[in-house]
Amino acid sequence: MSGVFVSYCRPSAQVAEQVASALSSLGYEVWRDEQLPAHRAYGDVIEEKLRSARAVVVLWSSEACQSQWVRAEADYARQAGTLVQASLDGTIPPLPFNQIQCADLSNWSGDGQASGWRKIEQSVAALAPLDPAPTGPRPVVNRLAICVLPFQNMSGEAEQEYFSDGISEDITTDLSKVSTLAVTARNTAFQFKGQSVDVCELANRLGVSHVLEGSVRKAGGRVRITAQLIDGTSGDHLWAERYDRDLDDIFAIQDEISKAIVDALRLKLLPSEKRAIESRGTTSPDAYDLFLMARQSWIDGDFGASGREHRVIRICQRAVELDPRYAQAWALMALAQANLRYAYMGNEALDDGLEAANRALAIDPNIAEAHLPRAWHFAMAGKDQQSRDEIETALRLNPDSWEANKEAARVYYRHGKVVEATRHLEKASAIAESDFHSRGMLSACYLAQGDWERARESAERLIDQVKEVLKRNPDNGAAIAYGALSFAAVGNLERAKEWIDRGLLLDPDNMYMRYNLAWTLLAYFKDPEAALEMLAPALAEAGSTLITLASVDRNLDQLRDDKRFQAMLREARKRVFGEER
């Protein structure tokens, strides 16, 4: 059996016993300090059990935050990669644990369907998969849970990947609206994209009862979608179907798949759940396809080259022409407009997205992403509290929004709040695995905090990501800059120098690439002269977001006392803001 260590403070002993009992019933070997033997030093036993545990469940409370024992056990688990966290009373874990996901077990009464408990179960299952019995059937999963694997793109065109990914995400979202069904998070499921997996092993590892897999082939005005629901214990197909329809039927197909799964699992939909599943944000399949295309460009595009923003704005404008009430398209267009105005041009005549954002909110007051351009609008006007209010509203409406976490991190970093930025970047990079830019910013945040080890670990993951991006787009300046940073972080300075030279040859006018390369030159090459030379063109042309970033960025602190850097920054602020401030 898999070993699980439960860490808690004495006033929470009753809940700790409940947690331990629930995990034991699932087949885990659970240890907590009630089992300390009378003949050994308790410190030795605890250290031994921590070392052998495959998952350490830390139950935070106001008392636990003050306990040196709980904090020490949590820190051991964090460094070992075995930490699973839950809050029993709404308490936010102390630093540095507040940068890691924490399940909410407030007022938990042992309900196996509670969302907080499902999160604990899935995390423990991922860290400590139960070993299959030598003989006989697999352990019985005691509740219905499903993992929607990324649907395979069968279109024969890599650029159609956005569509198959969008279908997978939408079905995951639909099934998440069914209260009696636990659904594996999108970012967990997408870790298996493109892999050949044994469904039963996967189900055992994730602690789910069923797996949905399928494929999408889109050509012209036709779409073919295949889907099959598989029992995670036996490997049997419970339901399978192929849909060969006009693209106009895409919403009907998604509805039919979600309802077929509900029927196959013998679940009953509440009327509100049925309405939620059928809500798509648009009635136009063409507008929907355009939105998926625009969002993929937003995630994977070259941050630092304004072509990304122009492309997203054009596509979203076409989408809202087809459906003027498509709030998601309005919100994404607003975000691209804000970035174009503030990140690149600093041109007061450019639209900053406020009108489009307000239009999105007039259509759908609960759309989180529409608050992000408003946050930038207030931030650039010096209204910091209103900017933070907009960010907090976006995160409250959709705490799992990639856009909300990414933009929150960018705003917080520009206010010098590196810890908060780090927390949101960790979440953003987990939600959208293909978002190399969040991973690169995360490496920079670790550097800003002097955490060289975590910067190196992040860089190791980032190298493969940027290589894949550059296969599709060899001129992507943002990917080149983060590749150079990553090679330097893992100690390969020669390769980092090659990538720096490559970036300057291919895209010398990319100001964000130059800015990020300056980080590498300062942190790893210890070359302030080269960093100043790299920064000079960027600061001479950049918009307000880059200038405000340079004013507070800890990764540029080596240059703060240099009169040349001070002069560059002073001139840039005068150019952008019309005054020295």
List the CATH number of the domain containing 37.
3.40.50.10140
Amino acid type, 153: N
Examine the domain organization and report whether 270 and 306 are in the same domain: no
Residue 140 pLDDT > 50: no
> Which helix (H) or strand (E) segment is 84 a member of?
strand 83-87
Cα 132 to Cα 136, 200, 259, 372: the distances in Å are: 9, 10, 32, 47
Residue 346 pLDDT > 80: no
Is residue 240 included in any domain, yes or no?
yes
Token couple for 249:
């039927």
Residue 266 pLDDT > 60: yes
Examine the domain organization and report whether 445 and 511 are in the same domain: yes
Examine the domain organization and report whether 445 and 581 are in the same domain: yes
Q: Is 60 helix (H, G, I), strand (E, B) or coil?
A: strand
- Start-to-end CA span in the chain (Å): 62
Examine the domain organization and report whether 451 and 559 are in the same domain: yes
Mean pLDDT in residue range 430-455:
85
pLDDT at 336: 93
Is residue 428 included in any domain, yes or no?
no
Share the mean pLDDT of the chain: 85
Examine the domain organization and report whether 378 and 438 are in the same domain: no
Residue 251 pLDDT > 90: no
Examine the domain organization and report whether 462 and 374 are in the same domain: no
pLDDT at 136: 43
- Of the residues 68, 99, 127, the one at which a domain ends: 127
Examine the domain organization and report whether 439 and 318 are in the same domain: no
- Of the residues 252, 280, 308, the one at which a domain ends: 280
pLDDT digits (tens, 9 = 90+) for 65-97: 888 788 888 888 887 788 999 999 888 888 778
Residue 361 pLDDT > 90: yes
Token couple for 245:
């329809």
- How many domains does the chain divide into? 4
pLDDT at 219: 81
Examine the domain organization and report whether 440 and 580 are in the same domain: yes
Domain around 69: 3-127
Is residue 52 included in any domain, yes or no?
yes
Per DSSP, the residues of 196-225 read ---HHHHHHHHT-SEEEEEEEEEETTEEEE
pLDDT at 358: 95
CA distance linking residue 481 with residue 148, whole number of Å: 34
Is residue 289 included in any domain, yes or no?
yes
Query: Would strands 237-246 and 222-231 be described as parallel, antiparallel, or unpaired?
Result: antiparallel
Is residue 424 included in any domain, yes or no?
no
Examine the domain organization and report whether 79 and 149 are in the same domain: no
Q: Which has the minimum average pLDDT: 127-131, 178-182, 405-409, 475-479?
A: 127-131
Is residue 135 included in any domain, yes or no?
no
Examine the domain organization and report whether 272 and 152 are in the same domain: yes
Examine the domain organization and report whether 319 and 355 are in the same domain: yes
pLDDT digits (tens, 9 = 90+) for 299-341: 777 666 678 889 999 999 999 999 999 999 999 999 999 888 8
CA distance linking residue 10 with residue 23, whole number of Å: 19
Q: Which of 563, 574, 580 is nearest to 540 (CA)?
A: 574
Residue 47 pLDDT > 80: no
Residue 550 pLDDT > 80: yes
Is residue 423 included in any domain, yes or no?
no
Domain containing residue 171: CATH number: 3.40.50.10070
Residue 221 pLDDT > 90: no
Domain containing residue 489: CATH number: 1.25.40
Residue 132 pLDDT > 80: no
Examine the domain organization and report whether 197 and 103 are in the same domain: no
Is residue 458 included in any domain, yes or no?
yes
Q: How many other CB atoms are there within 10 angstroms of residue 158's CB atom? A: 10
Burial call 276-311: b when 16+ CB within 10 Å, e when fewer: ebeebbbebbbbbbbbbbbbbbbbbbbbbbbebbeb
CA distance linking residue 424 with residue 402, whole number of Å: 9
pLDDT at 41: 59
pLDDT at 537: 92
Domain containing residue 288: CATH number: 1.25.40.10
User: 94, exposed or middle or buried, with CB in 10 Å at 0-12, 13-18, 19+?
Assistant: middle
